């Protein structure tokens, strides 16, 4: 072989005797270098493979095809090759998990980055760009909160004022890990009705409350994500049925908070129930498909859960907005940390008993009340939150959306934000369906060659 005198070259190298914390194991090596580690059980191998901040692609080698497929499903990477390696085709999407990025190139899933819902008009897109430029001025102060703003004035009438006996303190707590929990810092914020009278107080969530909620969601995600789709659908049906039994109570609460008419409040509750039924039906009907590629074998795309999703709900539809975000995420195997409507949170806190009686495992849905932007900033900066959704609507929507996307760049977090563009949450085209299911899933392509020679 002729001697190579110019350029930078590195010979093919096999590295052994390394630890899971070694730099060679934790970092991507772009070159002809392989790092080898031993393992004792398949579970240990999967844990070692997932012990990385990257997840672009992986290959699994085994004589046991059942074990190989189970391992391929369990590894958090965008492309998995079984008894093969480095196979590509334009019909199958390619892209990563975690810090290897998100989005896909190729396949049907690769087209969605270039599309938008047909209900969004060009006028709204131009408005998004205008508000984006204006939002850049408030980078430093976004997400900060003055807790003195939550104190009621001396003239505010308190709940139960004027009654012969003081009313029972029903201050709604946080909902973390399937249990009600008082705010860590002990502070509350006031909830006012449409006439300016204080209806109640709710916990004013802090970074510690978010941390506890994310920890509960992260702990629950593995079991919930692998639970049978039929079970997730059944639990969603239970939530809808139990909400239906209390629809009059929820409609009254929405009316007191928002000042909407009785008919409008009843319609919002009915739409919330309908939406739960819709997504329950999608639980086992959005799992993926088989791709047609040149491979002699099977190339399948699996719609897997994103993981832990942080959410900020719309302010004007306190129940329907909550259900519209939580429904698709939960039925597709994600767990959630939700900040309900800052102005009208009682519709969400009244759901605690509904969730408790619907067989929902603790940690799948976690609710933290408080200042929406403060909680959103904490969520988007958290390393164990895999995606951030923000739908406050008009007002600060553009500034907050910009800051969420800006902060998400540091930890490669997926975002789904509104930039202040209002959605009609009562409109079926804007409120539910493929757009939300797409944001609730990661696409993994698994290549499985077949044939006697293998």
**pLDDT for position 166:** 47
**pLDDT for position 118:** 79
**pLDDT for position 382:** 94
Whether the CB-CB separation of 339 and 372 falls below 8 Å is answered with yes
Residue 167, burial from CB neighbour count under 10 angstroms (0-12, 13-18, 19+): exposed
Q: Which residue has the higher pLDDT, 75 or 316?
A: 75
Lowest mean pLDDT among 4-18, 42-56, 218-232, 377-391: 4-18
CATH number at residue 226: 3.40.605.10
- Structure tokens that stand for 353 in this block: 């008993």
Work out the pLDDT band at 229, boundaries 50, 70, 90.
Answer: very high
Closest CA to 435 of 340, 335, 327: 327
pTM, two decimal places = 0.90
Residue 147, burial from CB neighbour count under 10 angstroms (0-12, 13-18, 19+): middle
Number of domains in the chain: 2
Flag whether 345 is in a domain: yes
User: Is pLDDT at 27 greater than 50 in this prediction?
Assistant: yes
Q: Are residues 53 and 98 in the same domain?
A: yes
Flag whether 234 is in a domain: yes
Q: Are residues 321 and 402 in the same domain?
A: yes
Lowest mean pLDDT among 14-23, 293-302, 331-340, 391-400: 391-400
Tell me the pLDDT tens digit for each residue of 332-388. Answer: 999 999 999 999 999 999 999 999 999 999 999 999 999 999 999 999 999 999 999
According to DSSP, the β-strands at 387-390 and 414-417 are parallel
User: Is pLDDT at 298 greater than 50 in this prediction?
Assistant: yes
Query: What is the pLDDT of the chain when averaged over all its residues?
Result: 88
> Domain range spanning residue 354?
122-150+170-285+305-441
Q: Are residues 85 and 106 in the same domain?
A: yes
Q: Are residues 141 and 185 in the same domain?
A: yes
Q: In what order do the strands lie in the sheet with 414-417?
A: 179-181, 174-176, 365-367, 335-339, 308-312, 387-390, 414-417
**pLDDT for position 343:** 92
Closest CA to 328 of 300, 297, 306, 295: 306
- List the beta bridge partners of residue 192: 198
Work out the pLDDT band at 411, boundaries 50, 70, 90.
Answer: confident
Average confidence (pLDDT) over 129-156: 59
- Structure tokens that stand for 64 in this block: 């046991």
Q: Looking at 114, 141, 162, which one is the last position of a domain?
A: 114
How many whole angstroms from its chain centre is CA 156?
37
Flag whether 298 is in a domain: no
The count of residues in the chain is: 454
**Residue linked to tokens 């074990």:** 67
Q: Are residues 91 and 175 in the same domain?
A: no
User: Is pLDDT at 139 greater than 70 in this prediction?
Assistant: no
Question: Dihedral sign, CA of 78, 83, 88, 90?
Answer: negative
Q: Looking at 114, 136, 161, which one is the last position of a domain?
A: 114
Task: Determine how many CB atoms are found less than 10 A away from the CB of residue 111.
Answer: 11
Instruction: Say what the alpha-carbon torsion angle 222, 311, 116, 287 is, to the nearest 10 degrees.
Output: 20
Q: Are residues 95 and 141 in the same domain?
A: no
Closest CA to 345 of 171, 147, 146, 216: 171
Whether the CB-CB separation of 328 and 285 falls below 8 Å is answered with no
Q: Are residues 350 and 235 in the same domain?
A: yes
Average confidence (pLDDT) over 245-262: 94
Flag whether 296 is in a domain: no
Q: Are residues 260 and 384 in the same domain?
A: yes
Flag whether 165 is in a domain: no
Gap between the Cα atoms of 92 and 293, Å rounded: 7
- List the beta bridge partners of residue 339: 312
Q: Are residues 204 and 183 in the same domain?
A: yes
User: Is pLDDT at 230 greater than 90 in this prediction?
Assistant: yes
Q: Are residues 99 and 142 in the same domain?
A: no
User: Is pLDDT at 162 greater than 60 in this prediction?
Assistant: no
Average confidence (pLDDT) over 196-205: 90
Gap between the Cα atoms of 80 and 325, Å rounded: 30
Distances (CA, A) of 266 to 240, 321, 341, 377, 430: 15, 14, 18, 33, 20
Flag whether 176 is in a domain: yes
Flag whether 447 is in a domain: no
**pLDDT for position 3:** 62
Contacts of 109 (CB under 8 A, 6+ apart): 93, 301, 443
Helices and strands (H and E) in the chain: how many: 15, 18
CATH number at residue 92: 3.40.309.10
User: Is pLDDT at 153 greater than 50 in this prediction?
Assistant: no
Q: In what order do the strands lie in the sheet with 288-291?
A: 57-60, 79-82, 441-449, 297-305, 288-291
Average confidence (pLDDT) over 409-418: 89
Q: Are residues 404 and 437 in the same domain?
A: yes
Q: Are residues 85 and 126 in the same domain?
A: no
User: Is pLDDT at 1 greater than 50 in this prediction?
Assistant: no
Nearest-10 crossing angle of helices 229-245, 262-282: 160
- List the beta bridge partners of residue 414: 387
Q: Looking at 69, 88, 114, which one is the last position of a domain?
A: 114
- Structure tokens that stand for 193 in this block: 């009705």
**pLDDT for position 134:** 58
Average confidence (pLDDT) over 203-207: 93
Flag whether 98 is in a domain: yes
Work out the pLDDT band at 84, boundaries 50, 70, 90.
Answer: very high
């Amino acid at each position: 072989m002729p001697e190579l005198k110019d350029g930078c070259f590195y010979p093919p190298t096999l590295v052994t005797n390394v630890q899971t914390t070694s730099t060679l194991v934790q970092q991507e090596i772009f070159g002809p270098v392989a790092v080898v580690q031993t393992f004792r059980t398949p579970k240990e191998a999967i844990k070692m493979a997932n012990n990385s901040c990257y997840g672009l692609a992986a290959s699994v080698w085994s004589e046991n095809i059942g074990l190989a497929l189970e391992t391929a499903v369990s590894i958090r990477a965008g492309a998995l090759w079984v008894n093969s390696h480095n196979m590509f085709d334009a019909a199958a999407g390619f892209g990563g998990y975690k810090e290897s990025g998100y989005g896909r190139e190729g396949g049907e899933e690769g087209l969605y980055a270039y599309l938008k819902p047909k209900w969004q008009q060009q006028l709204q897109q131009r408005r998004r760009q205008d508000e984006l430029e204006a939002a850049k001025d408030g980078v430093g102060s976004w997400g900060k909160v003055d807790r003195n703003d939550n104190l009621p004035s001396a003239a505010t009438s308190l709940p139960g004022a004027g009654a012969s006996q003081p009313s029972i303190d029903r201050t709604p707590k946080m909902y973390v890990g399937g249990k009600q929990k008082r705010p860590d810092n002990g502070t509350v914020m006031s909830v006012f009705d449409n006439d300016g009278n204080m209806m109640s107080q709710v916990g004013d969530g802090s970074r510690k409350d978010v941390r506890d909620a994310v920890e509960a969601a992260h702990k629950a995600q593995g079991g919930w994500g692998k639970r049978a789709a039929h079970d997730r659908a059944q639990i969603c049906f239970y939530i809808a049925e139990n909400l239906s039994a209390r629809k009059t109570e929820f409609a009254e609460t929405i009316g007191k908070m928002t000042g909407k008419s009785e008919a409008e409040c009843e319609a919002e509750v009915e739409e919330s129930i309908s939406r739960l039924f819709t997504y329950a039906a999608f639980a086992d009907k959005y799992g993926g498909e088989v791709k047609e590629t040149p491979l002699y074998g099977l190339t399948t795309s699996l719609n897997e859960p994103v993981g832990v999703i942080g959410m900020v709900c719309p302010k004007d539809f306190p129940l329907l907005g909550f259900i519209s975000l939580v429904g698709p995420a939960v039925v597709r195997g994600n767990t959630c940390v939700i900040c309900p409507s800052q102005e009208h949170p009682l519709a969400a806190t009244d759901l605690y008993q509904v969730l408790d009686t619907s067989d929902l495992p603790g940690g799948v849905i976690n609710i933290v009340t408080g200042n929406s932007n403060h909680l959103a900033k904490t969520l988007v900066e958290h390393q164990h939150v895999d995606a951030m959704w923000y739908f406050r609507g008009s007002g600060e929507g553009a500034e907050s959306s910009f800051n969420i996307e800006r902060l998400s760049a540091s930890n490669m977090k997926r975002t789904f934000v509104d930039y202040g563009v209002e959605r009609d949450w009562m409109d079926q085209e804007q409120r539910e369906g493929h757009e939300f299911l797409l944001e609730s899933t990661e696409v993994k392509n698994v290549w499985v060659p077949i044939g006697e020679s293998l």
